[in-house]
A = this chain, B = another copy of it.
């Protein structure tokens, strides 16, 4: 285990092959699509609760899913009943389900960042731009060109520039919130940090609104959400500290938090929303723990107050 996770030195955990797995209370699945479609129904019928960290059960439109993932969906019944695991939106349903589809990292950040605006019908639904910036750990543990240090170290690498898979998750959840069809224009770029995502969302208000009004709406919307924090530091002219008015991705690295900040260009009529999270934390493994806590009636924050991270 330490070979793959050097920070777990001395942990005494071991790998076993999935065939040797016996019934257990909960399974966190992180599998290729075909394997996920095969194992998930089996595990559910064995009586396990399942939290799938992959993408096999995230979309509610079968046509979309099959087109996007280029695969026939052989367990659609289960997909229909799986709950999309954004705890801030679907807490009640997660508490009662046996099957959670953990959201994509970019999708989590975008949905959390934009939800209050759509819930309050404040913006143009056809011009939502999500400019995503991701650390290299988001590219996976496997070696790949975009995460090769000599290539990315002094570089910024755009990829899947249009029609990225996570776009469909964003559109699904934001449409649900607004009650209307939402179009999301999403483009991701790798940046040379290890962990974390910053989504910069550019949206256009239907009528005049100020930064303070929006901050109040956001505070209210996330009032009962222990893992979302709104940055309401006043904007300051002092250049050294004005940065504090927006969330820093370094502040949430290794945690289950999503920090959100925003600003309004009153002259040109635009809202900019910043949302940050760790793609391996609130955008990955840790939100899986949060979902488990809800599914089993545990304290929602159990196991999520300490940091623990590899890679650094």
Min distance, Cβ A302 to any Cβ of chain B, angstroms: 14
Chain B minimum-CB-distance residue to A183: B268
Q: Would you call B305 and A306 a contact (CB within 8 A)?
A: yes
Q: Does residue A146 face the partner (Cβ distance < 8 Å to B)?
A: yes
Give the size category of A's interface with B.
Answer: 35 or more
| Candidates B135, B148, B154, B265; contact of A193 at CB < 8 Å | B154
Q: A131-B200, A202-B185, A268-B183 are in contact. Are A194 and B143 (CB under 8 A)?
A: no
Min distance, Cβ A230 to any Cβ of chain B, angstroms: 10
Q: Does residue A2 face the partner (Cβ distance < 8 Å to B)?
A: yes
Q: 1/0 per residue A230-261: CB within 8 Å of B?
A: 01010000011111101011110110000100
Contacts of A150 in B (CB 8 A): 135-137, 141, 147, 194-195, 311
Contacts of A157 in B (CB 8 A): 243, 246, 248
Q: Does residue A60 face the partner (Cβ distance < 8 Å to B)?
A: no
List the number of copies, as a whole number: 4
Q: Would you call B193 and A189 a contact (CB within 8 A)?
A: no
Q: Would you call A307 and B310 a contact (CB within 8 A)?
A: no
Contacts of A10 in B (CB 8 A): 229
Q: Does residue A80 face the partner (Cβ distance < 8 Å to B)?
A: no
Q: 1/0 per residue A139-177: CB within 8 Å of B?
A: 001011111111111111111111100000000000000
Q: Would you call B200 and A189 a contact (CB within 8 A)?
A: yes
Q: Does residue A6 face the partner (Cβ distance < 8 Å to B)?
A: yes
Cα A72 to Cα B118 in complex, Å, equals 43
Best-buried of A193, A196, A239, A274 by chain B (most CB within 10 Å): A193
Q: A2-B244, A7-B251, A242-B159 are in contact. Are A154 and B311 (CB under 8 A)?
A: yes
Q: Does residue A88 face the partner (Cβ distance < 8 Å to B)?
A: no
| Candidates B159, B187, B251; contact of A6 at CB < 8 Å | B251
Cα A9 to Cα B306 in complex, Å, equals 16
Q: Would you call B161 and A310 a contact (CB within 8 A)?
A: no
Chain B minimum-CB-distance residue to A274: B158
Contacts of A305 in B (CB 8 A): 306
Q: Would you call A153 and B191 a contact (CB within 8 A)?
A: no
Q: Does residue A43 face the partner (Cβ distance < 8 Å to B)?
A: no
Q: Can you name 10 A-B pairs with beta carbons within 8 Å?
A: A6-B244, A9-B231, A129-B129, A135-B150, A141-B150, A150-B311, A154-B312, A158-B198, A158-B200, A163-B268
Given contacts A149-B194, A184-B268, 14 further A-B contacts (CB under 8 A): A133-B189, A145-B239, A145-B240, A146-B243, A149-B149, A151-B311, A154-B193, A154-B194, A155-B248, A157-B248, A158-B246, A162-B270, A183-B268, A253-B312
Chain A to chain B: the 6 pairs with minimum beta-carbon distance, closest first: A307-B307, A250-B312, A162-B265, A306-B306, A150-B311, A143-B143
